[in-house]
Copies of this chain bind each other. A is one copy, B any other.
Amino acid sequence: MESRIERIKKQLHSASYKLTPQREATVRVLLEHEEDHLSAEDVYLLVKEKAPEIGLATVYRTLELLNELKVVDKINFGDGVSRYDLRQEGAAHFHHHLVCIECGAVDEIQEDLLEDVEKVVERDWKFQVKDHRLTFHGICWRCQDKTDTEDAKQDSLEKQHVE
């Protein structure tokens, strides 16, 4: 993790930006919540725990900066807020998401999956693909299990009290 921060620091420097304490604190929060999909406000509140003097504007600026450097990706799941997601180190493409319409959970898929599709797009639409955003909406395995269990429960109830 330290080495990861070091590398981000180098990225900043090579674009002649500085790794200030505020920026470092922000990056640390992102690293500690790699699985989550935090909004700017979320990040702000978490960073504030470590560095209470930080301002919201700085968090916005830092996130925008990290987005420029392709360290994070700015995503939008349809609620009005932008969320920020660390990009896998060295990944050329952004990873995919599974959004559960039951419980709202967001899972990640790191595999590419789109190689063939991109080839088709490049060939048939003459579109030179640089990046992509892919999100599936549906029902996650947890909610499928839950529903199964409830169905089973429901079934047994219906057996007891036939209406």
Contact = CB atoms under 8 A, between A and B. Distances in A.
A138 B144 contact: no
A107 B125 contact: yes
Interface of A: 74, 76, 78, 98, 101, 107, 109, 113-114, 116-118, 120-121, 125-141, 144
Number of copies: 2
Contacts of A121: 98, 109, 113, 136
20 contacts: A98-B121, A101-B130, A109-B125, A113-B117, A113-B121, A114-B117, A118-B136, A125-B141, A126-B140, A127-B139, A127-B141, A128-B144, A129-B137, A130-B138, A131-B138, A132-B134, A132-B136, A133-B134, A133-B137, A134-B134
Contacts of A101: 130
Nearest to A113: B117
A120 B131 contact: no
A142 to B, nearest CB: 9
Contact of A113 (B76, B107, B120, B139): B120
Contacts of A74: 78
Contact of A132 (B129, B137, B140): B137
A136 B116 CA distance: 13
Contact of A127 (B114, B126, B138): B138
